[in-house]
Amino acid sequence: MSATILSGTETAAVVRGEVADRVATLGKASKQVGLATILVGDDPPSKIYVRNKHRAARKAGMISIDRHLPGTASQTDIERVIAELNADDQVDGMILQLPLPDGLDAEGAVETIQPTKDADGLHPFNLGLLVMGRPGPLPATPRGIMRILAHYDIATAGRTAVVVGRSFLVGRPMGLLLGQKGIDATVIQAHSRTRELAEVCRQADILVAAVGRSQMIDSDYVKPGATVIDVGINRDGEELVGDVDFDAVVEIAGAITPVPGGVGPMTIASLLANTVALAEARA
Ligand code: NAP
């Protein structure tokens, strides 16, 4: 039997509609919502992601501000632009597109973003709020995944969730969100030093793959009926493939996100949702 396909495209459309309504409500009170992006260098995928973020922001009725620095920009150059955007009243949220070119300190740069304008929810202050279970902008990709689970009524309480990956961008906040009060999954955080990874993953009712290794998670890693969330975006020639071997896993999982059209669209929708919430807080 084939798994239910968890469509990020469909879920993101719902979120983007909600965001557009909130932007329009703020507009009636003469508050425009502004999202700024900072791109350093000319990495082709990053350029596409940034372009898509601007397109989505404008479609939701936001002002979008695009700051593009050359690949030769220094740490000081980047932090100067961030300081300008921190001081710019038009900007409610900003994102620094990652990864930065080699030799630059991404975490150091993110720390200079004002936490109340941190649309990606990656500032240590906001990650601290997440650890404490207090409201704040959430890392966009994990926030989007939680929304997919809610949209498709996937039960989490008392379920075992295995998150493969522990990056500060995806894996670690994902584990925190799944384990927080009210969501109540029992979380196992796996990584490159985890022993018997397939066996660990087979315990999962909800399996999140955020590894960055093309189709690594095959049917051996999946318990029949499990919900499988594929965060990975890997390039195979012209094609985008996930961390999950979709064709094999779709036959045994209960539900699965495709790549593309799964987690990716939710990341942008969550970024917009964070930005409008920051704008509401400022208004
Ligand atoms: P990352 O910073 O490279 O982290 C990868 C994680 O996977 C690390 O924690 C690493 O463990 C673990 N890992 C690596 N090889 C492993 C193995 N063989 N077995 C078990 N764990 C292993 O990557 P990331 O930023 O979290 O991104 C992960 C993937 O998601 C990438 O493909 C990225 O492109 C994609 N992504 C997608 C979206 C989206 O919107 N869909 C957003 C962000 C990222 P260690 O900590 O032990 O090194």
Residue 237 has pLDDT above 90, yes or no: no
* Closest residue CA from atom 4 of ligand 1: 167
- Residue 1: the pLDDT is 62
CA distances from 135 to 32, 124, 125, 139, 193 (A): 23, 14, 12, 12, 32
CATH class of the structural domain 30-114: alpha beta
* Given the residues 118, 120, 243, 245, the one annotated as active site: 120
* Closest residue CA from atom 41 of ligand 1: 264
Q: State pLDDT tens for residues 14-56.
A: 999 999 999 999 999 999 999 999 999 999 989 999 999 999 9
- Residue 176: the pLDDT is 98
pTM: 0.96
Cis amide leading into 70 (omega within 30): no
Percent of the chain with pLDDT over 70: 100
Query: Helix or strand or coil: residue 276?
Result: helix
- Residue 166: the pLDDT is 98
State which H helix or E strand residue 107 sits in.
helix 106-111
Q: State pLDDT tens for residues 177-206.
A: 999 999 999 999 999 999 999 999 999 999
- Residue 137: the pLDDT is 97
Pocket around ligand 1 at a 6 A CB cut-off = 141, 164-167, 169-171, 190-194, 197, 210-213, 231-234, 263-264, 267
Q: State pLDDT tens for residues 123-147.
A: 999 999 999 999 999 999 999 999 9
Q: Where are the domains of the chain?
A: 30-114, 140-264
- Whether 180 is catalytic is no
The ligand 1 atom nearest the CA atom of 267: 40
- Whether 120 is catalytic is yes
Q: Which residues are bridge partners to 63 per DSSP? A: 34
- Residue 54: the pLDDT is 97
Residue 13 has pLDDT above 90, yes or no: yes
Mean pLDDT of the chain: 97
List of residues 6+ apart from 89 with CB closer than 8 A: none
Band (pLDDT 50/70/90 cuts) for residue 93 is very high
- Are 30-114 and 140-264 the same fold in CATH? yes
- Residue 77: the pLDDT is 98
Structure tokens at 195: 């022993």
CATH class of the structural domain 140-264: alpha beta
